[in-house]
Chains A and B, each alone.
Chain A
Amino acid sequence: SSELTQDPAVSVALGQTVRITCQGDSLVDFYASWYQQKPGQAPLLIIYGANNRPSGIPDRFSGSSSGNTASLTITGAQAEDEADYYCNSRDRRDHRVFGGGTKLTVL
């Protein structure tokens, strides 16, 4: 299957750590990339590859992977991290697939 599954919603207390997960068969073979999307904006790449951040992305964002699950961790969540988060990977045809997204609420 080329589907990627995410929890629809997650919440975290301000300053605490939260992990957002993405499950799918393709993740056994391919890394996930992670995107943050705020209302009215295009998605923004925040993690790619094993655990790489594009320039300008705070180091409180990190990525990891184990088996068929990729994870995005925010260590010390800030109010501005409240957003939708999407994972993306590829299938065996090299087509790209997105997860359904996780809405993160910072309490």
Chain B
Amino acid sequence: QVELQQSGPGLVKPSQTLSLTCAISGDSVSSNSAAWNWIRQSPSRGLEWLGRTYYRSKWYNDYALSVQSRITITPDTSKNQFSLHLNSVIPEDTAMYYCARDRPDILDGFQPWGQGTLVIVSS
């Protein structure tokens, strides 16, 4: 059974970098059939896909246009985890952040999800 465990601070100051980590158990971040995603949810923006990292003989990333200039998602094969870095945060980045796996060629949907991390952007 695959489980995703999120960690990271719940409070970030404006203009600083939001960093969250998602530890994977039961699968590999280097899997050739999985993609590792970050998704956020807020009352004003609903569910918003932020981006993903995945390995297909080499590493790839895709980022949502809304955050493309500020986001980096990085894999860590030594710890079997992946991380979200969102820089220059503003109060509108306040949201519940989730990590999630999808396997487009096997089960085209996000499953499982991490437990969620509420991140508040405030001074």
Residues of A near any B CB (own CB < 8 A): 31, 33, 35, 42-45, 47-49, 52, 54, 86, 88, 93-101
Contacts and interface: CB of A to CB of B under 8 A. Distances in A.
Given A94-B62, A96-B37, A42 B116 contact: yes
Given A35-B109, A95-B65, 15 more contacts: A31-B108, A33-B108, A42-B98, A42-B113, A45-B109, A49-B109, A86-B47, A88-B47, A88-B109, A95-B62, A95-B64, A96-B37, A96-B49, A96-B102, A98-B46
A44 B98 CA distance: 12
B107 A95 contact: no
B45 to A, nearest CB: 10
6 cross-chain pairs, A with B, having the tightest CB-CB distances, nearest first: A33-B109, A48-B109, A96-B49, A98-B47, A42-B113, A45-B111
B94 to A, nearest CB: 17
Interface of B: 37, 46-49, 62, 64-65, 98, 102, 107-111, 113-116
Chain B binding site: helix, strand, loop or mixed by DSSP?
A: strand
Contacts of A99: 46
B107 A48 contact: yes
Nearest to A94: B62
Contacts of A43: 47, 98, 110, 113
A101 B46 contact: yes
